[in-house]
Structure 1
């Protein structure tokens, strides 16, 4: 017997608690009997695989994919973000922008965007928000590396003197930044230390970060970062905050706030596992699975939501927790 689900039923699980991010390639996404499925075709048989959309935040459609209008309608009802991208989940087909097919809804909360805009036009407050994000970024790294046994088995430990000093130095430098440019410079120096540490701990050797680099470490960093961008975009969409109101990355880049929010978790999760998986010579699919597992294990999406909500309500009236 066919069961009809309403939009409210599909949104029972809050976005901040959803577990799934899907990357699909060489398949057709469609609606079948009230469910979202993707069809894979082989010489001998066609297989349908179910997507639990009520527990999904983002779907990335890679090489050789298509999607039906009926599927998009049901995905929109469930509040799932959809993005078309290249092979391996990168890049999104908007160049350096972050572009998503957003579910259209005028019933998202307004308290967060109102709170965000209440301080965003004040340069000093915007800088303070950027500094708060960077402090929380450090704390999240310290928390994740401090309790993840698998990372510690791979010799990534926040108690290592090199990491303790890097974190301590950066956390002292953050409040001293007089503007965003200075903060970005300090952030770049901190990240460079993390790359050096990760390359050493994984026996990767000399490493230079290059967006177009074809070595596995750079490729995996790009792939993992785009998964983080998907979570960040979902967080901002649910809270109703436009991606252009960045606090740290370039204000002329329409997707810059996505980068700001994704930075909260990239160092703690994507960076170490990119080097570990590169050294192991794992496949792209295996690396993505590790990232998604770690996002769930360390409640990365929850953390993004809590930080953006805290920042957006800092200068506004407190409101109820609605997501």
Structure 2
């Protein structure tokens, strides 16, 4: 039976579209290897070695944390399945490869050119790039409204889009976005809005005063870091599959190689990562429990489908006018 697995081809491994894949893995203190045509990770117990299977055909990305190694054969098979591989510190943060986010992306000469050509068709125009940034921000607000209106568990916890104060905040931000004349102003507006969301979430979960600090040791900040890196994995998957290089951002610094990943990840961070981080912090959940909540919500709300739809629409937004 094992020998039959060795004849899988790359086409067999791509039968599940990236936008439909359900799994993101963060693993540490183990060895990732290929065995009998499968990807396994090996952990060392007191008296025995334990093997665990990774279903790569249904996986978007794997983050390798502290104390991990991976074989060349495993990387080759992961590349065939189109799985992104990243190396990080403990708990999934920070992502390494110098000082920037960098993914070992399996390159393929067969990726579509339609979207990158359309994207670059307007990207060098400042006005069109600003318009794309505004469209991203509006899509971000609309997704938050959608999730916080439909998710019963979030609404029970007070993250309800119909709450008057929150409704007014979202409406004001939607009205302010089109008024911004430069990307820098849009970034400032976005920072003010996110700060207000943090305040709302902290009050809603009775966590008191909250300050966003990526180096802080409190649960809310740790969970926000962790959840954001999961969102970066989804965003990297989206832009890689569509063939759009991560350096062609519309909001974050154009000189940062991974800036487009940050732009796309922002589509879902407020709607899902933010409320779950504060709820899990109040419940004193473990990082693993928080991660499982994030992955459950990503699947429930079809975030990869949403990201693919937004990025494809952005890429092609001027095509109809040509």
Q: TM-score, normalised by structure 2?
A: 0.97
Q: Deviations over 1:182-219 (max 9, x none)?
A: 10111111111100010011111000111111111111
* Whole-Å separation in 2 of the counterparts to 1:112 and 1:104: 16
Q: Deviations over 1:222-274 (max 9, x none)?
A: 01000000000011110110100000011111111000000000000000000
Report the alpha carbon displacement of residue 313 of structure 1 after superposing the two structures with TM. 1.1
Aligned with residue 217 of structure 2, among 202, 214, 218: 214
Q: Which residue pairs with 1:22 in the alignment?
A: 25
* Whole-Å separation in 2 of the counterparts to 1:96 and 1:84: 13
Answering whether residue 298 of structure 2 is matched by residue 295 of structure 1, we say yes
- Quick one: structure 1 residues 156 and 301, their matched pair in 2 at CA, closer, same or farther if it must change by over 3 Å? same
Q: Which residue pairs with 2:171 in the alignment?
A: 168
Report the alpha carbon displacement of residue 302 of structure 1 after superposing the two structures with TM. 0.8
Q: Which residue pairs with 2:80 in the alignment?
A: 77
- Secondary structure of the equivalent of 2:220? helix
Q: Which residue pairs with 2:56 in the alignment?
A: 53
Between 1:220-229 and 1:1-10, the stretch displaced more is 1-10
Report the alpha carbon displacement of residue 96 of structure 1 after superposing the two structures with TM. 4.7
Q: Mapping of 1:1-323 within 5 angstroms?
A: 1=1, 2-3=3-4, 4-94=7-97, 96-316=99-319
Q: Which residue pairs with 1:321 in the alignment?
A: none
Aligned residues: 318
* Whole-Å separation in 2 of the counterparts to 1:33 and 1:173: 56
* Whole-Å separation in 1 of the counterparts to 2:165 and 2:222: 25
Q: Deviations over 1:56-97 (max 9, x none)?
A: 000000011110000000000000000000011010013552
Q: Superposition RMSD on alpha carbons, in Å?
A: 1.1
Q: Deviations over 1:153-204 (max 9, x none)?
A: 2111111111101110000000000000110111111111100010011111
* Whole-Å separation in 1 of the counterparts to 2:56 and 2:77: 9
Runs of 5+ unmatched residues, structure 1: 319-323
* Whole-Å separation in 2 of the counterparts to 1:49 and 1:317: 49
Is the Cα contact below 8 Å between 2:87 and 2:97 reproduced in 1? no
Q: TM-score, normalised by structure 1?
A: 0.97
* Whole-Å separation in 2 of the counterparts to 1:95 and 1:129: 29
Runs of 5+ unmatched residues, structure 2: none
* Whole-Å separation in 1 of the counterparts to 2:291 and 2:237: 18
Report the alpha carbon displacement of residue 316 of structure 1 after superposing the two structures with TM. 2.8
